[in-house]
């Protein structure tokens, strides 16, 4: 095992240990709530029902805090001068396109929600970032404090107390997991992003470009129509940082959108050299695209099997609402499997998915690539 791999494993273990500690704290809060409920109960049956109810209330409170967290980003983003792009909780995504709001479907593994905004500033150095990034934990803190004040003033009703305590506990948890700088499942939290942006000029630039690209693409602009210079950063940069990784992926996507797959492949292979430094999410995304390029390229059976592992299959299945994954599965079914029924099924899924997909630019790109596959591969394609 390499030194870098050992360091990564240690960091992951420390993060998991920290999260386990937080889980214990959460269990303590819920346990305290259960104790309050049992003391006020008149029967063991009532206690059990109330304990179940308390757990349910706590879970609902946590979901509410997630919504409030993203609302905090939204409010602080608007205050900072950003434009609204999308607001996601779970997989449900509210987007604004062509001046109208619509509900779409999208998710990112490892995240419970996300509020994306579009920076109005033309220069990344003038773009405000602290308030927008900290808006979520500020909102969680305000709500937790407000609920505590209400609890101290009007406490007494066990049901109201239970709701307030759940909101306080879930608010504290959200504040800790998002405010203390760390990566959870490879995803940088708000605190980590702020520290990175404050320390490094490049990270601030990458944060700005990431929001810019997402906002423009959501409105329907193709990545290939954006300036290539946006994505050209020093090859000696720290690509293990998720924000820097994202910009290199955007460069690959630029070439991918122009159907220059060899150049896109070079970008992804460059990033894969940082494995295990890059986060798992990007590693899986990169391997999905490399698998696609192998399928439409040399179609080496050994290489395909090396990429198309059980873990990657599981990742693809978990992110089927991403239309690039449907495009990948379409290519695999058509070129490798020669399964026409499966091809038709995937195309039907694609037609349904694109209606709910939030990124208009990406839809147009994927439609063109699917047409490219149709025009260049027939039913007799096989693995060599």
**Six-digit token pair at 217?**
């693409």
Please answer whether residues 281 and 110 qualify as being in contact, where contact means their C-beta atoms are separated by less than 8 angstroms.
Answer: yes
Within 8 A by CB and 6+ apart from 194, the residues are 129, 130, 133, 134, 181
Mean pLDDT of 47-59: 76
**What's this model's pTM, rounded to 2 decimal places?**
0.84
| Dihedral of alpha carbons 27, 28, 32, 38, sign | positive
pLDDT at residue 46 greater than cutoff 60 = no
Q: Is 267 helix (H, G, I), strand (E, B) or coil?
A: helix
Mean pLDDT of 38-48: 51
**Six-digit token pair at 255?**
């070439």
113-119 and 183-184 strand pairing: unpaired
Confidence at 284, pLDDT banded by 50, 70, 90: very high
pLDDT at residue 189 greater than cutoff 50 = yes
pLDDT tens digit sequence for 122-163: 889 989 999 999 999 999 999 999 999 998 888 677 778 888
**Six-digit token pair at 4?**
């870098």
Q: For the purposes of burial, counting CB atoms within 10 Å of the CB of 115, is it exposed (0-12), middle (13-18) or buried (19 or more)?
A: buried
Mean pLDDT of 114-123: 91
pLDDT at residue 190 greater than cutoff 80 = yes
Please answer whether residues 244 and 203 qualify as being in contact, where contact means their C-beta atoms are separated by less than 8 angstroms.
Answer: yes
């Amino acid at each position: 095992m390499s030194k870098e791999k050992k360091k990564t494993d240690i960091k992951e273990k420390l993060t998991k240990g920290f999260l386990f500690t937080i889980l214990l704290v959460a269990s303590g809060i819920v346990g305290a709530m259960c104790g309050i409920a049992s003391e006020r109960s008149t029967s063991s049956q009532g206690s059990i029902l109330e304990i179940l109810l308390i757990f349910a209330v706590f879970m609902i409170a946590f979901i509410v805090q997630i919504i409030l967290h993203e609302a905090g980003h939204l409010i602080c983003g608007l205050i900072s001068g950003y434009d609204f792009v999308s607001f996601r909780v779970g997989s449900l995504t509210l987007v604004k396109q062509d001046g109208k709001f619509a509900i779409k479907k999208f998710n990112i593994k490892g995240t419970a929600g996300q509020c994306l905004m579009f920076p109005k500033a033309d220069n990344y150095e003038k773009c405000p970032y602290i308030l927008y990034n900290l808006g979520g934990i500020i909102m969680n803190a305000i709500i937790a404090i407000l609920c505590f004040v209400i609890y101290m003033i009007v406490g007494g009703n066990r049901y109201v107390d239970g709701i307030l305590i759940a909101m306080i506990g879930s608010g504290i948890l959200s504040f800790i997991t998002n405010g203390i700088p760390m990566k959870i499942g490879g995803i940088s939290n708000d605190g980590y992003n702020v520290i990175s942006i404050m320390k490094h000029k490049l990270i601030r630039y990458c944060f700005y470009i990431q929001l810019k690209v997402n906002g423009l693409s959501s409105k329907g602009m193709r990545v290939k129509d954006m300036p290539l210079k946006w994505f050209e950063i020093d090859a000696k940069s720290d690509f293990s940082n998720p924000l820097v990784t994202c910009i290199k992926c955007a460069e690959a996507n630029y070439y991918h959108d122009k159907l220059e797959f060899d150049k896109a492949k070079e970008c992804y292979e460059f990033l894969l050299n940082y494995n295990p430094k890059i986060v798992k999410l990007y590693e899986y995304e990169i391997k999905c695209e490399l698998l696609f390029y192998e399928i439409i390229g040399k179609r080496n059976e050994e290489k395909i099997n090396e990429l198309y592992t059980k873990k990657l299959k599981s990742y693809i299945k978990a992110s089927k609402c991403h239309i690039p994954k449907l495009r990948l599965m379409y290519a695999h079914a058509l070129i490798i499997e020669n399964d026409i029924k499966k091809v038709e099924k995937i195309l039907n899924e694609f037609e349904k998915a694109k209606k709910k997909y939030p990124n208009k630019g990406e839809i147009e790109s994927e439609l063109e690539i699917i047409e490219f596959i149709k025009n260049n591969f027939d039913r007799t394609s096989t693995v060599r």
